Structure 1
Amino acid sequence: MHNLLTNEEKRVSVYQPTERPTDPKTVTPDTPLEDLNLNWREVDLPERERTKHVHRLHPYLGKFIPQLVEIFLRKYFRPGQMVLDPFCGSGTTLVQANELGINAVGYDISGFNVLLCRAKTAKYDIQKARKEVLDILRKTDAERKKAYGNRQLTFWEEEASALTFETKDEYLLNWYAPRALTELLIYRHYIKDYEYQDLLKIILSRSARSARLTTHFDLDFPKKPQREPYWCYKHSRICQPTTEAFKFLCRYSYDTISRIEEFARIRTDARVEIFHEDSRTADFPPVHGVITSPPYVGLIDYHEQHAYAYHLLGLEDRREDEIGAASKGTSQRAKQEYQEDIAEVFRRVNESLLPGGRVIVVAADTANLYDSIAEQAGFRVEGVINRHVNRRTGRRSSEFFESVFIWRKD
């Protein structure tokens, strides 16, 4: 077990970066840590670059940007080596590793996260994928027209109950207008007829997120269905609740085709494996290093974030096993439990890590838990880079700081 850094060592290890933000493509194994500037502004790193190709296949709160991952992949890994992400989330590490020809393995407790990662990293026959995405859209359109024709229905016209495509799921009945729900259920019905089912499920989930009875300005964590016209802070006008889903199925189908085509042009044959397991008990394979961003203590309920997908797709719900869930709060007891759980994950990581391997951990450590976690897991702290995040979307729109911890196994 290694000792913690002294206060003086900590001050030295928090690097003061150079003025210009680092271009990930310029990083090599010889790039000094103290030369890395991870403080990108919007002008330095526009949203279209942070959400390139499959990185925006589906909205996801709490993910780190691919450029941050790319920097540490280029510095510490070589093509053919293996990187592990024990909290793989939306798959950023897995996707970026594949771009660089680095094998990757990911674990996550969330069934939706595993589905999303598999859809992002799969190797597609692009022509076949395009055909399937457009064919299920055509079938859905034909079936919905049998029920509604081209009529525009209001939310209050309850005609869906007479259709074949029904559900008894209370969540779905509560959060969707009848027509929107019927269109989603029609699409879901046909998914079984195709090979690329994970991809179609992600299109369905993304559409379901947008088609819920919620305000346009609160898609992340709406508290109750919006059934009446409302003042929309996003559009600065009175908006109506969403009553249909097919327009979203169309929009996201074409966007998905474009994104998987873009990724296919740069995708390598490096292996990607994803497991739906609890990293506190998983047996990790031998790996050369780790790049991960663990859940923050008391911030996000990851299952609840995608509740619509769990109900619509029948995914296994393991929310009780989430580490640091918002529902558990931020009390001292919650922080202690979080620290113990994260340390257990990294103890298991240490067992699988080859000698000399690095562990890169991105975390907003406001409770100062990670020095102790490193010690408990048996790692030596090589450095800490404080990163200023001054542009975020979604729930966290204000600026904040996060730390990039660099640990080493000797």
Structure 2
Amino acid sequence: MRDVSEKQAADDKVAVVIVAAGRGARAGQANGPKQYQQIGGGAVIARTLDAFLTHPKIGAVVVAIHAEDDALFRRAAGANADRVVAVIGGTSRQESVRLGLLALRSHAPSRVLIHDAARPFVDAELIDRTIAAIGERQGALPALPVADTLKRETAEGMIGETVSRAGLHAAQTPQGFPFWPILAAHEKAHHLGKADFTDDAAIAEWAHIPVKIVPGSPDNVKLTWARDIAMADQRLSSAPRFPDIRTGNGYDVHAFEPGDHVTLCGVAIPHDRKLSGHSDADVGLHALTDALLATCGAGDIGTHFPPSDPQWKGAASRIFVEHAVKLVRARGGRIANADITLICEAPRVGPHREAMTEALSAMLRISRDRISIKATTNEKLGFVGREEGIAAIATANVVFPGDVPE
């Protein structure tokens, strides 16, 4: 077992344990455990992971899987497999949760969500409600009021009595808790040999941790039977959906200073001046870096490479672009195209466009026909027209995993 790194578990983020070690026998084994079966063209667990990994309040994610499922998990999770910590689960759900919590203990955040992999329709609003209700000594349980009339059966299979449904709720996940109290409760139950808890709210109740009920979601169903898988697949396959294509824009400007060349889009061009900047002042690549970061909500170039940091003095700007590409690809993104417009009176860009395109193709790892580099003047207007500097505008389109519902 390996613990989550400190970088993964930032204090202002909420950790997640996803339980995915079960065999799901009730859903049928013909297509493997239910968490790996296909719904809407993707694995159940892939949808579950997306719901948490795309949520801005979520930090470290641990997935408890069966000892035999490592290859199955990696295939189902795709690029997201490298964004989570997979641990071997136990023989029961309760034990799998405990092992998942232990993987977070070294650098755990203050709060943790515990979720069943077989609930792929959890949404951001439900996650938000659950997180908001977690206190220093209080857990949170999303639940729905019981709507059906309840009957208690006798030993002979007859109706013994009608049970009042007043105050009764059907529990869902994710269930949220302050991290250390719920870990301590799981550890205590383990050491006492108490292994009959059906969910984490039950362990919290046993350990005298108050749990607040928050509104659940009717869509947040648990896939248990084979017909549940079929209905989920039908639901996703019939819903109008659109590809998750994101567009990012970037803008940058640098002033001239004495020198003998400018660097634009990774190419050194002889000129009677150079651009002033902490790195090599490549306005094209700086704008492109911001455009790429924008497609995955990763801030801007200054977030990752502060101009106050002396290590970036004179640095080649391709470092910034390649870092942004790495972040995009770590989130499963595929760069569809990049478009850069350089705005300057001089130098002439046309003679160097092919070299620029070649350089960008290598940085972005996409074909040359997906790269556009254009140049225009500012018609002698403004700081560009007065030849005081160069500006650049960049646009990037990136395709991310999954679809966006209509």
- Fold match, TM over 0.5? no
* TM-score, normalisation: structure 1: 0.24
* TM-score, normalisation: structure 2: 0.24
The structure number with the bigger radius of gyration is 2
| More helix by percentage | 1
| Bigger relative CO (Cα 8 Å, ≥ 6 apart) | 1
| More strand by percentage | 2
